[in-house]
Structure 1
Amino acid sequence: MNFLTDELDYEECDKEINKNDINYFRNIWLAYDDFWHKNKYDKSKYKYVKTAPRSPNTKYGKINDFYRRCYLILETNEYYYPLDNYIKIKKRKRTLTNLEHIIIKNSGNGKRQSDVQDIVKNAKFSKTYMTNVMKNAVIGVEKIKEKKILLPNEKLFVNMDDCFISSLFNNKKQKNRIRTISANKGTDLEKSTKSRNVLKDKKITYMKTKNGERIKRQELIDKIYDFLDLQFIYNKSSLVFIGDGAPWIKTSAKKENIPYVIDRHHAFKALKKGFIFNRKVDNKKLTNAYNLFINGKYYLLLDFLKVNNIDEKIYKYFKNNKEGIINQKENWNQGVCAESDVSHLVKSLKGYGAKIYNDKVLNNLLLINSARINKLNLLL
């Protein structure tokens, strides 16, 4: 083990610990403490004071009755523990920073707290401790190294959707709106299979506000362009906005003179609800309506819905989305669904643990999930 770097190589430890027991960890630590005392102890800067106990918790288990040297920094009159610095354990903490990083990196994305506990089961930490780690975590995300280039014949699909999730802010329940904004270059034909559609160069961001707080249109548009400019090299003429038919998406597309397409998932869901008669779905009529929809036959679809006495709210939903329906027939339209973004970014958090999160925990989980989707490393 190389002690000159003053930083424990945990990857090397992982390899060695499989061959040995936890005492390998203890022996490495003691060896470093001796090394520092013999080779780096400068009596003009430090004064040896005592040996002090520690019982640190590691991913391999707890190390009990462990002692290391303590020094006094002469210039500042503060205590200094070289070994604590080497193994990366914070003052008054019982858990290695390495173990906290494992908890943070494995949280979210559908993993329950018990799933994370199983990953490092020897550590035997509680769910309350995990929540505190996530609450106090300071997380950064690495900068984007290379922008994705859009070819002249490619489209950049911008999906938008809203969902709602609660959190605890100052011990009071607060409902939050999460507005997801994602971009992709359509279906990746090389990676897609018959059962799984993979999107090419998919990237995501989001806006989080308290429910009831209005997101101004220009604020949304600025967010979209800032996000796209950071991720892609593109022409505005390549953009297509996709959504569930909400007015804020349509008006944003109209203001920016960008084609708008209604999300097929939401359209099919509305049609299916409209063609339920006597608690059964009329699949024949549903298929006919859906075919009219995906072929962009706006007026024929409205006539078909009216003839079949579809609920007035459902009829208005399609009547008010003329452009979103007509653009279904365009060759560039791939029927990409915005609902999956909500599922991957927000709804997957439902499996993590508590039914309601502390607001700081929610913020960190959203940050972790968005970094994972964007394939960016966390900076901890």
Structure 2
Amino acid sequence: MFNISLPLNDIDFKTLEKEIYQRVLKYGREQIKTILEQLDVMIMESRDKAKYRNICIKKTSIKTVMGTIEYSRRIYRYYDEDGNKHYISLLDEYLKMNKTIGQMSVNLVEKIIENATNMSYRKTAHNITELTGQDISHQAAWDVVQKMGEKIQEQEKQKIKAYEKGKLKGKREVKVLFEESDGLYINMQGKDRKGGSGRKKEIKLAVTYEGWKKRYFGKCDEYVVINKNVVTGFHNSKEFADLIETTISQKYNIEKIQLRILNGDGAPWIKESASLALKHFQLDRFHIFQAIHRNIYDKKEAKKVSRMIKKLKIDQALNHIEQLKYECGGEVKEVKKLETLQQYLTNNRDGLIPYKQRKNIKLPAPPEGISYRNLGTMEHNICDILYLRMKNRKMSWSKAGANNLAKILALKASGKLYNKINSLLSGELSERLTQKVKEIKKPKPKTNKIKTNIYPVRRGSMPFSACSVTNGRKAIQSLITYGGQSIF
């Protein structure tokens, strides 16, 4: 039982709860320290002693959800097949602690990233400090996101290379695959403001899914998309299209897909994506009617044009817009807006007809429990995935910082974030925990030999280095050290 050290008059439930919480964290740290050091001894006793030489015991620490844990573990030396020397902690290898970011456990990294996807880095640092009882700065939270984002991008590049070589063969089979794309302009800072749109740059977002299903059983009219996958980032048209196709090829058997529908606002990079793969492009209905109401001065006339578009009377709608140019009193501003609308609809004429109403599309029957509905999910995807975190609070970003966070947000929206964190932090050797030393012999420079009466002192080999080693000889060798460590 815990001893209460506070005066009776100063105790309330809030204080009591905090006191117990801190003690539980401390107890957890002590238990983990004890277990780690006991495991280290067990590994030392069961290791391959011929391969791994026990060099020393070093103190280290790791930040966890219970606070910072300080412990000691043994460092071993071994040689690989090429004769290269390595130093390693077998405890770290055994517990897969060799992929940590900034001396943090995977659980702590998850908590930091989970908070950082919902709030600022300062609020993230405050929450983690309160949760774990240790000081975590906003810079540390930022560093975790950057390093994780960089790892995700590096893996994306490797997968794109595999896709370009035809090595990605997904197994999932579907007949129809839907895709929607859009972009969000965010404020940039520093040197990243230069070029392009200046202060703002567009970050691209694409979502793929297989169809819709009801959110709840019964008469509910709410639907959710099935097997949603999200990709995002600052990329040019070709790079982003490759990223989309890589993501699809990794999951799906492309040869089994009979129909691909792409919904977008008509931006050149979206239509280019449709041309690089066999996709039917559809102009997003929200953007169609938004453009009509923004550019037609008379709202009654705007509704008329909207009804014509809905009834697929495309020529009639375009002719009506042409007539409105002469009915606006010759105002240059209004005429230019009407011309902008007319050009927008004309350039995307093929996409004005919904995919279900096109004669050249034969839509396969959907699988049981799945329905094929009208497209138009991107506005809420842009809002939920990017806008609320990256634009809603008048933020400005560096290109690298925004890209790294966006990659994490895309994985979260796809439901893959925690699996990705675990996979990226479970096999890569950490510079903090392991060291690799390669001894490379440099070629000796050519020198002109000059005869001299001065001869170098002959140097002998180390004692007993060329003969069998007995226990007595081992004792003598152990006395010969260099830099505090045995050179043998």
Same fold (TM over 0.5): yes
State which of 301, 307, 323 in structure 1 corresponds to 2:350: 323
SS of residue paired to 2:352? helix
Match of residue 374, structure 1, among 401, 414, 432 = 414
Matched, 1:294 2:310: yes
Contact 1:110-1:351 at 8 Å conserved across structures: no
Residues in 1 aligned to 2:279 and 2:188: alpha-carbon distance in whole angstroms: 35
Structure with the higher fraction of residues in strand conformation: 1
Which residue of the other structure, out of 35, 44, 53, is the alignment partner of 1:46?
53
Q: Does 1:335 align with 2:375?
A: yes
Q: Report deviation, 1:330.
A: 1.6
Select which of 65, 68, 85 maps to 1:62.
68
Residue in 1 that maps onto 2:104: 96
| Cα 1:104/1:43, change in 2 over 3 Å | same
Query: Does 1:118 find its partner at 2:143?
Result: no
CA distance in 2, matches of 1:286, 1:233: 44
CA distance in 2 between partners of 1:298 and 1:362 (Å)? 40
Question: What is the aligned partner in structure 2 of residue 150 from structure 1?
Answer: 174
Structure 2 residue matching 1:326: 3-state secondary structure: coil
Q: Give the superposition deviation at 1:194.
A: 6.0
* CA RMSD of superposed structures (Å): 4.6
One-letter amino acid matched to 1:320: N
**What is the CA–CA distance in structure 2 between the aligned matches of 1:90 and 1:221, rounded to whole Å?**
35
Partner residue of 1:9?
Answer: none
Matches of 2:99 and 2:377 in 1, distance apart? 48
Which residue in the other structure is 1:203 paired with?
Answer: 229
Which residue is 2:295 aligned to? 274
- Please report how far the alpha carbon of residue 88 of structure 1 lies from its aligned counterpart in structure 2 after TM superposition: 5.6
Q: Note closer, same or farther for the CA distance 1:271–1:352 as it changes in structure 2 (3 Å cut).
A: closer
AA aligned to 1:97 is S
Q: Which amino acid aligns with 2:35?
A: I
Q: 2:113 and 2:135 mapped to 1: Cα distance?
A: 17
Give the direction of change, closer, same or farther, for the CA distance of 1:275–1:80 in structure 2 (3 Å limit). Answer: same
Q: Is the 8 A contact 1:68 1:83 kept in 2?
A: no
Give the drift of 1:238: 1.7
For the pair shown, the structure with the greater C-alpha radius of gyration is 2
Q: Which residue of structure 1 lines up, in the alignment, with residue 6 of structure 2?
A: none
Tell me, in whole angstroms, the C-alpha distance in 1 between the residues paired with 2:64 and 2:257: 51
**1:319-366 superposed Cα distances (whole Å, 9 cap, x missing partner):** 433222233772877132433444455435417999344544444333
CA distance in structure 1 between the partners assigned to 2:114 and 2:319 by the alignment: 51
How far apart, CA to CA, are the structure 2 residues paired with 1:87 and 1:117?
29
Residue 37 of structure 1: how far off its partner (Å): 4.8
Q: Find the aligned partners of 2:137 and 2:415 in 1 and give their Cα distance.
A: 29
Q: Aligned residue for 1:182? A: 207
Q: Secondary structure at the match of 2:354?
A: helix
Aligned residue type for 1:31: Q
d(CA) in 1 for partners of 2:227, 2:170: 12
- In structure 2, the gaps of 5 or more residues are 1-23, 160-167, 195-199, 329-333, 359-371, 425-488
Q: CA 1:32/1:223 → structure 2, altered by over 3 Å: closer, same or farther?
A: closer
With over 3 angstroms needed to count, the CA separation of the structure-2 counterparts of 1:363 and 1:320, relative to structure 1, is closer
> 1:314 is matched with which residue?
341
CA distance in structure 2 between the partners assigned to 1:254 and 1:44 by the alignment: 58
Letter in 2 for 1:215: S
The Cα shift of 1:159 comes to 1.9
Per the TM alignment, residue 222 of structure 1 is displaced from its structure 2 partner at its CA by: 5.8
Distance (Å, rounded) in 2 between the aligned partners of 1:256 and 1:263: 19
User: Percent of pairs identical after alignment?
Assistant: 19
The unaligned stretches of length 5 or more in structure 1 are 1-16
Identify if the C-alpha distance between structure 1 residues 42 and 222 changes in structure 2 by more than 3 Å, giving closer, same or farther.
Answer: closer
Partner amino acid, structure 2, of 1:125: I
Instruction: Tell whether the 8 Å contact from 1:157 to 1:239 is kept in structure 2 after alignment.
Output: yes
- Is the CA contact (8 Å cut-off) linking 2:181 and 2:263 kept in structure 1? yes
Residue of structure 2 aligned with 1:35, choices 36, 42, 46: 42
Deviation at 1:129, TM superposition (A): 0.7
Shift of residue 270, structure 1, vs aligned partner: 1.8
Q: How far apart are the structure 2 equivalents of 1:250 and 1:94?
A: 42
User: Which whole-Å deviations, capped at 9, do the CAs of 1:294-321 have from their partners, x for residues lacking one?
Assistant: 3322233335544475632234323433
Distance 1:292 1:353, change over 3 A: closer
Alpha carbons of structure 1 residues 161 and 222: separation in structure 2 relative to 1, 3 Å = same
Q: 1:186 to 1:297 in 2, by over 3 A?
A: farther
The corresponding residue for 2:266 is 245
Change (3 A) 1:352 1:119: farther
Between Structure 1 and Structure 2, how many residues are aligned? Answer: 346
2:143 to 132, 152, 177: 132
Q: Is the 8 A contact 2:101 2:147 kept in 1?
A: no
How big is the shift at 1:253?
4.7
Superposition deviation, residue 190 in structure 1 = 5.3
AA in 2 matched with 1:150: V
* CA distance in 2 between partners of 1:191 and 1:147 (Å): 29
CA distance, structure 1, for counterparts of residue 216 and residue 285 of structure 2: 22
Amino acid in the other structure paired with 2:295: G
